[in-house]
Amino acid sequence: MAEIKVPELAESITEGSIAQWVKKVGDRVEKGEFIVELETDKVNAEIISEEAGVLTQILAEEGDTVLVGQVIAVVEAGEGAAAAPAAAAPTEAAPAPAAPQAAPAPVAAAPVVEETSGERVVASPAARRLAREKGIDLAAVSPVDPQGRVRVQDVAAHGTAPAVAPAAAPTSVATSGGPVVFTPAANSDRVTIEKMSRRRQTIAKRLLEVKQSTAMLTTFNEIDMTNIMALRKRKQEEFVKANDIKLGFMSFFTKAVVAALKKYPYVNAQISGDEIHLNNFFDIGIAVSTEEGLVVPVVRDANSKNFAEIEKDIANLATKARDKKLGLNDMAGGSFTITNGGVFGSLMSTPIMNGTQAGILGMHSIVNRPVAVNGEVQIRPMMYVALSYDHRIIDGKDSVGFLKTVKELIENPEDLLLNS
């Protein structure tokens, strides 16, 4: 018999939540086979079986919080026989107790989500949680994903299960001499209650901590993207043939950021107690949007990598993030972050700093706008950029100078190549 325990992933991680079981009781499992997905504050981890056999017990359900070292399943030697049924009822029935004078009305049980199809439905952890909360059979949900993966949007669009009891009418509570307070009924369809995932709770907590523990300020500038767009278009085919990956804007901005960090080292620093730690490395975090929130994997030693290496690193990390394959090492230790709200159509924003870092660069949409060029009005592709920074260690002069350096290098990409 082998006990499946929650592994120790990192010193900072003490617990997690069961995202989904990929095996069910009675299934045959091989040594090293992935049987359960664990969601932690930082990453989703795949837990494997250390022995071959049959999964005979599942001791934690999907959505349960489990601690490091806790036993969550049992695998025993065998060939896939069905698990032993629950203990049978005693053969001798105990005398029936006297019936109470008035039996309480039965409490309606929460709807149980069952997958009625013969095969397990492929669904994201967030979709499974929402389906459980709404009492929806995942097999009945029609996914939009061409590969058949059920996402949380599909479950939300499917609607809720039939109510167990008629919905109570919303009530209005009047206070003497005060306004009427409208209180919707708990099971009213006017409000959808969705429990925050562990990842979303962690994101919310850390963003709030940054706002409360730093003197965050944001400065803005705009970049004329004409030259870099022309260079990218001119070199794209040659670049793809040589490197088997497209040349994007992110590698240019990463290179420009590294050059600006070298010129303004306090932007590449962090506060520890009453000390300022100036980082002599350039590990650049690239914000990636996933189904369960924003994650920031890190391009290591960006200063020593060429454009193709940076593009490949970013593409690989983005794929791992969306497939929930990021490891802790992929996200630890970044010194500065770049986020691109432009991919969602954002024209301008004030990005929030990442953890203990002192700065974050926000990229935005490229929009054709009239601008003055050598005394003439021309239509140019323009991008607003924003630098949010910790004013406790970065003065206005350095923040403005940093962003101006990024602007100048992007507008003159030949200079960027010389700084590489």
Looking at residue 378, what DSSP letter applies? E
User: From residue 93, how far is each of 29, 90, 99, 184, 218 by CA, in Å?
Assistant: 39, 7, 16, 47, 74
> What is the Cα–Cα distance from 160 to 134, expressed in whole angstroms?
5
Neighbours of 84 (CB within 10 A): 11
Strand 359-363, strand 336-340: pairing: parallel
Instruction: Determine whether 391 is an active site residue.
Output: yes
Choose, from 64, 145, 323, 395, the residue flagged as catalytic: 395
What sign for the dihedral angle of Cα 90, 93, 98, 103? Answer: positive
Please report, to the nearest 10 degrees, the dihedral formed by the alpha carbons of residues 98, 103, 104, 109 taken in order.
Answer: 80
Neighbours of 351 (CB within 10 A): 23
Residue with tokens 């029935």: 93
| Alpha helices in 244-332, H assignment, sequence order | 249-263, 307-322, 328-331
Instruction: Determine whether 415 is an active site residue.
Output: no
| Alpha helices in 306-392, H assignment, sequence order | 307-322, 328-331
- b/e map of 7-27 (b: 16 or more CB within 10 Å)? eebeeebeebbbbbbbbeeeb
Choose, from 137, 277, 283, 391, the residue flagged as catalytic: 391
Do residues 58 and 21 touch, judged by C-beta distance below 8 A? yes
> What is the Cα–Cα distance from 231 to 94, expressed in whole angstroms?
86
Spatial neighbors of 221 by CB under 8 A, at least 6 apart, are 384, 385, 403, 404, 406, 407
Residue 375 identity (one-letter amino acid):
G
Question: What is the number of alpha carbons within 13 Å of residue 193 lying toward its C-beta?
Answer: 8
Which tokens hold the place of 394?
Answer: 């970065």
> What is the Cα–Cα distance from 31 to 132, expressed in whole angstroms?
31
Q: Which residues are catalytic?
A: 391, 395
